């Protein structure tokens, strides 16, 4: 069986997304795109880390990572990533309202799971076979899996500025212990890898 990994980009003060998410501002207007410029503007600095993010064979994400809307589904919304999302694998979206699976180009199919995090992970494990499952975020979803002791390898990508507001990783996980196994920095991002204790 593969591992459960998780990648998340955070500010120096551990913010993974700002308030006031909207279709125009996936991470809120204050945070903007600043947590992810290292992946796009400076991709040559972090080729291995970027490849690892997309190396899983199934993904789990929270609804807010898929969708800026709340409540009932807006049926035309197909995620932030255009017709061919970068996952190229099944993606299990945690949500409270049922929705039919959404098949995109390039092998990504979004499955909408209303039975909770444990069931979403079980479905993702089954879909991944002997490959890894990745918890793709956001911070609330990641913390739920950290609290359950389900994450084998956590990869934090720390961007060197503070935000001062928003949703942080670890805020819902007091008394978590992990083992650091790697740390590497570029001028734009610091990559920290932790394993389950």
Q: Confirm or reject binding of residue 44 to a second copy (CB under 8 A).
A: no
Q: Listing from the earlier edge strand, what are the strands of the sheet with 102-103?
A: 102-103, 109-113, 90-94, 58-62, 133-135, 4-11, 153-159, 190-196
Q: Confirm or reject binding of residue 165 to a second copy (CB under 8 A).
A: yes
Q: What does each C-alpha distance from 151 to 13, 70, 87, 109 come to in angstroms?
A: 22, 27, 19, 23
Residues 122-161 as x/- pattern, contact with a second copy by CB under 8 A: ------------------------------------x-xx
Q: Confirm or reject binding of residue 10 to a second copy (CB under 8 A).
A: no
Among residues 22, 96, 119, 162, which is the contact residue for a second copy, using CB under 8 A? 162
With beta carbons less than 8 A apart as the criterion, state whether 25 and 33 touch: no
**DSSP structural state of residue 89:** S
Q: Where are the alpha helices (DSSP H) in 101-149?
A: 117-128, 139-147
CB of 165 to a second copy, least distance (A): 7
Q: Confirm or reject binding of residue 174 to a second copy (CB under 8 A).
A: yes
Closest to a second copy by CB, 13 vs 41, is 13
For 160, the token pair is 């060197």
Closest to a second copy by CB, 122 vs 178, is 178
CB of 103 to a second copy, least distance (A): 38
- Residue pointed to by tokens 């600095």: 45
Contact residues: a second copy, CB under 8 A:
12-14, 158, 160-165, 168, 170-171, 173-187, 189-192, 194, 197
């Amino acid at each position: 069986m593969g591992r459960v990994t998780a990648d998340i980009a955070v500010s120096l003060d551990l913010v993974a997304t700002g308030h006031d998410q909207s279709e125009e501002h996936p991470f809120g207007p204050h945070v903007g795109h600043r947590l992810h410029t290292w992946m796009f503007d400076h991709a040559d600095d972090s080729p291995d880390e970027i490849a690892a993010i997309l190396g899983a064979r199934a993904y789990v994400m929270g609804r807010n990572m898929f969708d800026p809307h709340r409540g009932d589904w807006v049926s035309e919304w197909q995620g932030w990533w255009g017709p061919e999302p970068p996952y190229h694998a099944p993606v299990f979206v945690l949500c409270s309202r049922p929705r039919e699976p959404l098949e995109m180009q390039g092998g990504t199919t979004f499955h909408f799971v209303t039975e909770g995090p444990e069931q979403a992970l079980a479905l993702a494990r089954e879909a991944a076979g002997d490959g890894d499952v990745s918890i793709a975020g956001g911070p609330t979803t990641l913390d739920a899996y950290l609290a359950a002791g389900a994450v084998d390898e956590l990869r934090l990508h720390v961007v060197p500025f503070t935000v001062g507001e928003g949703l942080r990783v670890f805020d819902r996980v007091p008394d978590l212990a992990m083992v650091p196994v790697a740390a590497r920095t570029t001028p734009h991002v610091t990559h920290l890898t932790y394993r389950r204790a």
